[in-house]
Structure 1
Amino acid sequence: MDPTEGGRPATPPLRLRVNGQHHDLPADPRTTLLDLLRGHLNLTGAKPGCNHGTCGACTVHLDGRRVLSCLILAVTAAGSDVVTVEGLAGEALHPVQRAFIEYDALQCGYCTPGQIMSADACVREGHARTDDEIREYMSGNLCRCAAYPNIVAAVAAAAEEM
């Protein structure tokens, strides 16, 4: 058996734990974490927005901290624990997800998964004490529909519950 792929040495599988499940995935060293999640695992919650790390639509948790998956090469996440919006909830909706529904913190919904992942991190990091603090720590997530007042209200409500 030829150990090469197109004249290059074969790439060993990439091992990740995504939403609590272990995966061994083929990964070109140039593949971003976002592309791996969407293309190989069909987890389409994290969205490609700007591909420059400025909009936050691709936010996921990597080993418990929020990251922009469009900027992370998948191979650098080998052995890590990744949580996407699909894995945030358990049997019931996560408090942030419930608050986003209750406070109508979405319009078109495109940015919502990234907003939810950042909101969860914002609360867990202890940065949801005031509306100004929420706005500051959520500022890396853009909403083209301008649902910001409702997003801030949802994060504040989730913080009280969490």
Structure 2
Amino acid sequence: MMIVAEVVSSFTWTPLTFYAAAALAQLIVILLSFRFTQLNPDYNTFAGALVVVVPVNVLAYFTRDFGVAGVLIVGASLFGLLVGIARGDVFRTGVAWMLCLATYWGMASYVVPKADGLSVEQVGGMPEVLVKGGLEAEPFTESDVDNLSKGKGD
């Protein structure tokens, strides 16, 4: 555990490196969770797990400032890709999905406080929601109220 603490404190953390590390951690989590839930070994491959973690964490990085839409995009794409590599086995996929979300939470809870210059707000997206318990509501402006009362959209 001491080695992990030294790496965390000595490494320069940015949101990009956070999501790259999350991808590596989730790669291991997916492989182990499918192994322990006894998914068919033909489906539990390194390439399949890589097909999930790379696009999901790229999406997570680019949609971290999108609010609720970004969180939903990441959560749905993670679940959908996991179902795809598990060939429709939703129970085992649900276990892997919850463990991947727990990986975001664990990294945001452990890495971010120890990293100099990195905050949960900078990481944003799914890790911020999991650590803080939600997103701040954006207030309505006068123009929003006027448009809604007139029946206009954006």
The TM-score, its normalising length taken from structure 2, stands at: 0.31
More helix by share: 2
Highest Rg: 1 or 2?
A: 2
The TM-score, its normalising length taken from structure 1, stands at: 0.30
Which structure has more relative contact order (CA 8 Å, sep 6+)? It is 2
More strand by share: 1
